[in-house]
Structure formats: C-alpha cells, structure tokens
Homo-oligomer: A and B are copies of this chain.
Amino acid sequence: MKRKKLWGGRFDSSNAEITERISASIDFDARLYRQDISGSIAHASMLEKIGVLTHEEHRKIVQGLNEILSEIEEGNFEFVRSLEDVHMNIEYALTQKIGDVGKKLHTARSRNDQVTLDLRLYIRDECTEIRMLLETLIAELVKKAETHLEVIMPAYTHMQVAQPVRFSHHMLAHAWALVRDMKRLDDANSSSMVLPLGVGACTGVNYPNDREFLKEKLGFLSISPNSMDTVSDRDYVLDFLYFAAVLGMHLSRMAEELVLWSTSEFAFVRLSDAVTTGSSIMPQKRNPDVAELIRGKSGRLYGNLISLMVTLKGLPLTYNRDMQEDKEPLFDSVDTIKLCIEGMMEMIVSMEVKEEAMRVAVFSNYSTATDLADYLAQKGVPFREAHEIVGSIVKYCENNKIDFFSLTPSDLKSFSDVFGDDAVSVLNPAFSTERKLSRGGTSLREVKYQIDLIKKIILRRE
C-alpha cells in the first residue's frame, strides 16, 4: 500500500516507479535521523516560543520525536522508500503517533532549510570524532619519534639518498602535515556552523521565526544572512570533502613510504601481523594491505570532491534537486577518512623499526657529500666549486666501488688541498645531523623542540 505523498495536492496521477527509484534518498539519508530529530525539537521549541504551538502541542511533538529516536536506535523503526527521505519518514511516523498536531511541526520551515540543517549538524558531529582520531594519530607519530630519537636513516630527495636524518624527524614531518589537516578540519567545521533553519523554501517565511533562539538552541556560531543563498549553499560540504581529500593525499604519502619500507629491499620497518595479510597462493607473502588500501583510497576521496563540485557547476539559484547528490560523497568520505586514520594508527603503533637496516643505508650511500662540500665552503671555497670537487670524489668512489669511509685524509687532499686531517670526520652521518642546528633542522635539540611544540598544539586544542 502506497502512502500518499505530502505534496500531492495538485497532481492527477502518481509517480512512475523509476521516479521513486531515482529520487528516493532514504536508503542513504536515514543516517541523518539523529540530526533531523534534534533540529525538529529545536524548531518545535521555537514555534512554541513564537506562539505557533501551544505548550501542550510542543510537549507532544517533543515526546513523539524522542520516542521515534529511541525506536530507530533500538532498530524498531522501519524506513519506507515511498516516503522518500528521512524528513518525511520521521514526520509521517510522528503524525501516526500523535495525530494531526504532528502536521504543525512543518510550519515555518521547508525541506530546503531542514536538509541543510541536518547536514550541517552531521558534519559538526563527525568533525568532533575525526578531530579526536587525528589528534591520536599525531600523538602516536610523536610517540614513535620519542622512542626512536637516536635512530638515523637516509633522507631522500627524488628517492635518492640525500642526507642523514633522524627517523624521529621523519615521523614528525608527517605529523606536521596532519597538523595542517586539523586546521582544514576546523575550517570545514566552522563553515558548517552557520544556522540555516528558518529561511523556508528560499525567500524567508511568513512567521516571525526567532532564528537567534534557534542558533543558541542548536549551538551554531552565526545565522545565515540570506535565505536564497542559504538553500543554495553547499560550500560547507565541499570544505569537508576538500579537507578529506588533502588528508587522504597525506595518508597516501605515508602509506607509500610504509609500503616501500616494508619491501625486502628497504626493510626499514616490519609491519605487524595485525596489519599484513598473506596470499592465497604464495605461502611466503606478508603483504602490507592496509597501507595499500589507504594509498588507494585517496582515489575515492578525490572522486567525492570532484563529484559534488561537478554537480554544483552551473546550477542557477536556489535549491535544485541535483543537490541531493551532496550526501553520498560526504558520507563516503567521512567513513573512508575514519577507516584510513584508524588503519594508519594501527600500523604506526605496531610497526617495528629496523634500526640496523637504516644505519646501513645511511652509511653506504655518500649521504654526507653535502657536509663535505660545506666543509670546503666554510674554508672559503665558493660553494659551487666545492660542489664540483666533492662530485669528483663521489665519482672516484663509485668507480672504485668503495664508500666514503675508505677514504683517507690524503685521498681527500688529492682532490683539494683545502682538506685538513679533520675532514674525514665530516663523513660520519652521526655527526651530520647534529650540524643541522637552525630551526627546523634534524639535530637532536631541534627535534626535541618540535616535539614540545606539537604537543602544545594538540593539548591546547583538546
């Protein structure tokens, strides 16, 4: 039995079956039930305040909505596709429950302001959760850095060994990117914290709505200033999708490194059994699936952002039904980003750092060539010349298949008489990191400074 549409007044015949299939959103927007009910309760209170509802009507509506909330949370509520969306499903259930007074709830609002309200509240709720996850991930990276302060590894540029660096410094590099993501998350959150409710379908309502009251009641920061813009605007969803896409990009870079470091060729870390899987065919395999999936999921995070941007392109004001397409990408990005943060956290926490492999890599790849050039530069050789001299030394070593540590002082002097006997000590990677003393460098002092700084940032915001 088909329930009558709530907007059917002027229609002669009912919708085609395909219309229902293409337009019903209840399969995905049911997820907004909590926000929808909160919004309706606030709206009912406002209607009472301005005299549209009596005290008793208000009481009944609130009680009815709370009962529906419980039913949904306990799994005793059936969402029906012919009622289109979460708003209609709940309103219909309310009227079934408390009678005609339920129909008064929709006074002085429209689905256009209601749906954007729900979505804004949803984003706020999810931002809170995601922020906690992000902070925890940053904290785990910092902890990993702290427990491995002395481990030295190669820093790479162009995937070629560049210079010695602390493993802790490398972990913190990722942490700082995530700190920027927290900023973008906060921006997305405040984008969403503007009250839309009370503008009706697009031009305002024929009632003295108290939007200041609604703002306070629902915890928004400000009130949307223009009714047409209010129902047209999905910037706040884009801001969230953008945050998620950039975070996904950062996580894809971390994941890429974990995949690389887990190869037998690098062998810089051993991911735990908890986050690796085997092969159905190759018994020796330990695959870094979680890292790969996180890397791969950047695709859908980008796709979700593009998806909504395309939908909004070229739409005239105000609400157009195209905008219903805002929800699925949002929900998918929320779910994906939470999975990815949790997966990354599990890997970071449980991974074993193979200090010896890192040590070998940093000692055998001329990682201190820059230090040697700087040695010359500090003795007055123009840097460009020093660079050329050290280039020749590297070529000499390569041709003779030796590393820097086989070079004697006299070997060095044969390339430039500026080299003193102390020059060979410059070649030691362990000393190299300690020369990086200015802000942001990889010396122990500076790494500790970073750790303090980042802890303050996380703590301050909690």
Contact = CB atoms under 8 A, between A and B. Distances in A.
A283 B322 contact: no
Contact of A202 (B163, B176, B245): B163
A205 B438 CA distance: 7
Contact of A278 (B9, B282, B321, B350): B9
Nearest to A278: B7
A414 interface: no
Contacts of A419: none
A259 B159 contact: yes
Nearest to A384: B103
A445 to B, nearest CB: 11
Interface string A264-285: 1110000011111111111111
Residue of A169, A239, A296, A300 with most partner-chain B CB within 10 A? A296
B387 A439 contact: no
Given A19-B343, A160-B264, A204-B446, A390 B227 contact: no
Interface in A1-22: 5-16, 18-19, 21-22
B110 A281 contact: yes
Contact of A229 (B177, B211, B377): B177
Contact of A112 (B103, B157, B299): B157
Total copies of the chain: 4
B293 A325 contact: yes
Residue of A174, A295, A342, A441 with most partner-chain B CB within 10 A? A441
B226 A107 contact: no
Contacts of A320: 157-159, 292, 296
A322 B293 contact: yes
Given A169-B227, A225-B450, A295-B314, 8 more contacts: A15-B277, A18-B290, A176-B225, A180-B233, A211-B440, A264-B361, A264-B364, A297-B311
25 contacts: A6-B387, A9-B391, A10-B286, A10-B392, A21-B342, A22-B339, A23-B289, A112-B157, A112-B281, A158-B259, A158-B319, A159-B260, A172-B229, A187-B187, A204-B435, A204-B441, A207-B374, A281-B370, A284-B369, A293-B324, A296-B324, A299-B307, A299-B312, A302-B309, A303-B310
* A-B residue pairs, 5 tightest by C-beta: A9-B391, A204-B441, A296-B322, A204-B436, A303-B307
